Structure 1
């Protein structure tokens, strides 16, 4: 790999414990690429990685005007001093880069994705419409306009149902839920929505775990949606349990699902890195698309080809004019997010009245935080995680004192 061109990891909003960002940093850094990162402070896991060429403390909130964020990125480009490959690590940064690509082109190299497409894909309602237009199965869903429609949609879908924040920036500006949430009844629904008269949520059909399997496809697509690297994997556990982000997954072959994802990207002309979440519904035998993340997925390091190419390296090679080696996906790899996987395994065992399974990673497992050649991010994450747990445990005491 010719690694003369630097890369910048872009993020919008507070997410200091973004292990996808750390994975991208390590992947490119180990290949010799000078990697720069936007960080919330000097002690985030990314900020203390040995693979980091430079950090920029830019504690964004997601409430900033796009013009201000673009100006900040241009300042970072001038500070790097060379044109860099920009790597989006969250939906908001993917939308920002695509919609302002022309202005950012002076300092950054970006995939030629249609400007409005990442926002449409990151929108839960936008994705639903794209799936309908292109004949891709997706769970039944509604985006209610007001509280009256909210209750009517709930009756149509039936309980339990799944509730998601509707748009890319909703989660950082005015989230209705903190993550994908399973709602059991009307009282729980109204408690979550609160006083919002026009809640920005998507209500989605619930597919029970007994009738489903969770799969993912990670891709890099070049110009005009041409798939250049396609990977498939199976989600074993998540946190929050059964509804949140992946905490343990395995790389498994699924050629049909890989073709389905690649065909969709080609039809819509998507270019760049993508992380697609699917739920296989045993009731009708269909893979249903539940999320399309137009950026680096948190667990993308699960996936590699036989020549060590992941989607971030494929992006870098393509945008710097280099050939992406053709090789088959390496199957059997495992990906684990340490302490969150322990929590998920414990909750699952408690719900099912059984002993928790063995959670020690087997040889060859990719860990989200721990790496013997880059130990400090795991230390930084442990400190932050411990502080978060401590604050949550003492919250009732602090509330009572107030």
Structure 2
């Protein structure tokens, strides 16, 4: 039983008005009677209109603000809530800010005892690669080029095609190198992406061919010293954009080897808190390679529950309020679908692979990102905002094509 006297704040940095992971946090705790407060970009985001949100704090940020100013504003929100509050980060920047300014923020917030600089290192792509090497956890070959000459050398060393990623939290908001994980076919295309002399913070990473790969995910909550309280594994069936974006559909499947690797990494680093890990299984060498470590709540975390109904967010609330987290295996076969992303992911798969995607015949989703009977309004608002977003992009493409 959760402690209903301890509220929760959904903390975010940056502009993510259509983030279904935040909505999942509000629902999983609100349904159990916990008071949920949320930072939102405006009063008409899907999250702001959820019946499970007690209070909304309209506080748009970009991630380019001074960390001291961000910390001061978080404290103001915490004081407005009144009671000691659990801060749940829903993006990497918020997780980094909470950890690096915990000495001040503990005035208002209950936080996991994570080592101060660890979330930044785990969320950083190059530093994660180094941490994996030290911990004996496989990861794709990666390089952090300092200039265009090093960029060319990295591409030739790793080989084409390759993958480009934004290097670190905050830098992806302040000076993004790419919009999202991007595949590059050859050196000419690589250099065309960075025509100027200055090179933004970017990671060059080995590309594992989709035909030789499977995408897996691990969601967990660890207590002090990196000891998992709950740990889940699942198979990502489709994503949007294809192979590199957000999870469009996934299924909960027990994978002992993956669980062992995730636990090893958390114990070696002493990570404490909620985390979302992305892995790629490489059939060429039979290794699960860690692609991303997100030190915060994952957007699809509601895919996973134990047989006792405990997900990572509920486990966090239980643990930080001094209550026991029930021990039990994960519920197998749960399916998660991210509504509007699911259909285009199928279309994209059919175009590129010319065959039915895996998991297409799975039963209907156990958990949906937006649509649910007890909280229907966020799905309506998301439908309106998503339609507007698609319309604006189509108009922009048309203007570019016809020169208007």
Shorter-chain-normalised TM-score: which range? Answer: over 0.9
Question: 1:219–1:231: 8 Å Cα contact kept in structure 2?
Answer: yes
Question: 1:345–1:357: 8 Å Cα contact kept in structure 2?
Answer: no
Question: 1:74–1:104: 8 Å Cα contact kept in structure 2?
Answer: yes
Q: 1:257 — aligned with what?
A: 258
| Greater mean deviation of Cα atoms: 390-399 or 310-319 | 390-399
Q: 2:129 — aligned with what?
A: 128
| Structure 1 position 370, deviation (Å) | 0.6
CA distance in structure 1 between the partners assigned to 2:73 and 2:189 by the alignment: 41
SS across alignment from 1:178: coil
Unmatched runs of 5 consecutive residues or more in structure 2:
none
- CA deviations on 1:7-54 (whole Å, 9 max, x unpaired) are 000000001111111111111111110000000000111000000010
Question: 2:135–2:264: 8 Å Cα contact kept in structure 1?
Answer: no
| Structure 1 position 364, deviation (Å) | 5.3
Q: 1:394 — aligned with what?
A: 395
| Structure 1 position 196, deviation (Å) | 5.4
Q: 2:12 — aligned with what?
A: 11
Q: Give the alignment of 1:223-262 within 5 angstroms.
A: 223-262=224-263
- CA deviations on 1:298-319 (whole Å, 9 max, x unpaired) are 1111000011100000001100
Q: 1:273 — aligned with what?
A: 274
CA distance in structure 1 between the partners assigned to 2:55 and 2:242 by the alignment: 36
1:285 and 2:292 are equivalent in the alignment: no
Question: 1:147–1:199: 8 Å Cα contact kept in structure 2?
Answer: no
Q: 2:301 — aligned with what?
A: 300
Q: 1:336 — aligned with what?
A: 337
CA distance in structure 2 between the partners assigned to 1:124 and 1:24 by the alignment: 26
CA distance in structure 1 between the partners assigned to 2:299 and 2:197 by the alignment: 30
Q: 1:96 — aligned with what?
A: 97
SS across alignment from 1:52: coil
CA distance in structure 1 between the partners assigned to 2:173 and 2:72 by the alignment: 20
Q: Give the alignment of 1:39-78 within 5 angstroms.
A: 39-78=40-79
> 1:361/1:252 Cα in 2 relative to 1: closer, same or farther (>3 Å)?
closer
Question: 2:176–2:200: 8 Å Cα contact kept in structure 1?
Answer: no
| Structure 1 position 210, deviation (Å) | 1.2
CA distance in structure 1 between the partners assigned to 2:375 and 2:224 by the alignment: 34
| Structure 1 position 265, deviation (Å) | 0.2
| Structure 1 position 242, deviation (Å) | 1.3
| Structure 1 position 226, deviation (Å) | 1.0
Question: 1:11–1:92: 8 Å Cα contact kept in structure 2?
Answer: yes
> 1:93/1:194 Cα in 2 relative to 1: closer, same or farther (>3 Å)?
farther
| Structure 1 position 182, deviation (Å) | 1.0
> 1:37/1:209 Cα in 2 relative to 1: closer, same or farther (>3 Å)?
same
CA distance in structure 2 between the partners assigned to 1:195 and 1:167 by the alignment: 21
- CA deviations on 1:142-198 (whole Å, 9 max, x unpaired) are 010101110111011111101100011122111111111111122322233342522
Question: 1:144–1:199: 8 Å Cα contact kept in structure 2?
Answer: no
> 1:154/1:241 Cα in 2 relative to 1: closer, same or farther (>3 Å)?
same
1:85 and 2:86 are equivalent in the alignment: yes
- CA deviations on 1:47-79 (whole Å, 9 max, x unpaired) are 000000100000011110001101110110111
CA distance in structure 2 between the partners assigned to 1:212 and 1:364 by the alignment: 24
| Structure 1 position 356, deviation (Å) | 7.4
Aligned residues: 402
CA distance in structure 2 between the partners assigned to 1:112 and 1:356 by the alignment: 42
User: What is the TM-score normalised by the length of structure 2?
Assistant: 0.96
SS across alignment from 2:54: strand
Q: 1:349 — aligned with what?
A: 350
Q: 2:323 — aligned with what?
A: 322
